[in-house]
């Protein structure tokens, strides 16, 4: 993984170096995701990655010890974004449990849209990682899906959702978010990203919002 730089408080030079390191790492991960999705991780050489990212091969090895380390970092980056963006969306959405579920789903979709190549890689290439890498990804997936599962449970407990299998419904939402990347070639022909999120939100919530509350959430249940 990329080297972690310590930043001394009040040291603008160290802060600038840390910022440059982060930008360079993101540049490498984005280039790796594009190439690995297109050609497969085994077919991507460090030289090809260096050319795609416009850096030297030596610089890549300063950040990642080998290609498997790089692939793991590409996939983990998506999960790290979930861990940051979903809780922020929940906090900003207020206390209403249904609004919170909708906000969490939109945040998952947004992360997937921003990391489409990496999201596809997580399905295609994670099996090529070692056992430790696969276990880490599974653990992070369970951890990062927790806020959504809890939001769904809160909606059920509040009577806003009909009784439902919370885990199944939450993972259905996650799969819908991932589908934007997996079937992007198809959906982009007729749907913008906001329209995709809006329509999928309406379809999912229409199955679980309790009848007494449907009028209250008509703005979420109407896909137009």
Q: Which residues pair with 209 in a beta bridge?
A: 161
Are 11 and 98 part of one and the same domain?
Answer: no
Q: If you average pLDDT over residues 134-159, what whole number do you get?
A: 95
156 with 198, same domain: the answer is yes
CA distances (Å), 196 to each of 23, 51, 62, 105, 176, in order? 30, 34, 39, 12, 10
Instruction: Give residue 55's pLDDT.
Output: 86
pTM above 0.95, yes or no: no
Q: What stretches of 132-206 adopt beta strand conformation (E)? A: none
**Phi, psi at 209, each rounded to 5°:** -65, 130
pLDDT range class, residue 9, cuts 50, 70, 90: low
Q: What is the DSSP letter of 201?
A: H
Judgement on whether residues 101 and 53 belong to the same structural domain of the protein: no
Residues 39 and 80 in one domain: no
Give tens-digit pLDDT for 207-218: 999 999 999 999
Residue with the bigger pLDDT between 112 and 38: it is 112
- pLDDT tens digits along 80-136: 999 999 999 999 999 999 999 999 999 999 999 999 988 988 888 888 888 999 999
Q: Is the pLDDT of residue 63 over 90?
A: no
| pLDDT confidence bin for 3, thresholds 50/70/90 | very low
Is residue 123 domain-shared with residue 183, that is, in the same domain?
yes
- Residue burial 25-44, b: 16+ Cβ < 10 Å; e: rest: beebbbbbbbbbbeeebeeb
> Of how many residues is the chain composed?
224
What CATH number does the domain containing 3 carry? 1.10.10.60
pLDDT tier for residue 4 given thresholds of 50, 70 and 90: very low
CATH number, domain containing residue 184: 1.10.357.10
**CA 164 to chain CA centroid, nearest Å:** 25
Tokens of residue 162, six digits: 């009909």
The C-alpha atoms of residue 69 and residue 71 are separated, in whole angstroms, by 6
Specify whether the CB–CB gap between 1 and 15 falls below 8 A.
no
pLDDT at 205 exceeding the cut of 90? yes
């Amino acid at each position: 993984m990329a080297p972690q730089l310590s930043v001394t408080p009040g040291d603008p030079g160290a802060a600038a170096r840390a910022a440059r390191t982060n930008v360079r790492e993101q540049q490498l991960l984005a280039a790796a995701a594009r190439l690995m999705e297109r050609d497969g991780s085994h077919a991507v050489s460090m030289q090809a990655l260096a050319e795609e990212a416009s850096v030297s091969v030596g610089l890549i090895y300063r950040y990642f010890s080998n290609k498997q380390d790089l692939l793991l970092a590409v996939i983990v980056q998506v999960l790290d974004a979930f861990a940051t963006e979903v809780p922020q969306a929940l906090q900003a959405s207020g206390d209403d449990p249904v609004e919170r579920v909708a906000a969490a789903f939109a945040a998952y979709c947004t992360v997937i849209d921003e990391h489409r190549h990496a999201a596809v890689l997580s399905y295609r290439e994670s099996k090529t990682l070692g056992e430790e890498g696969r276990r880490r990804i599974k653990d992070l997936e369970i951890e990062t899906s927790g806020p959504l599962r809890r939001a769904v449970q809160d909606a059920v407990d509040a009577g806003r959702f009909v009784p439902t299998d919370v885990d199944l419904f939450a993972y259905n939402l996650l799969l819908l978010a991932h589908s934007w990347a997996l079937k992007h070639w198809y959906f982009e022909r007729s749907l913008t990203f906001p329209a995709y999120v809006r329509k999928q939100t309406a379809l999912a919530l229409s199955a679980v919002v309790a009848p007494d509350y449907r009028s209250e959430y008509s703005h979420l249940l109407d896909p137009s």
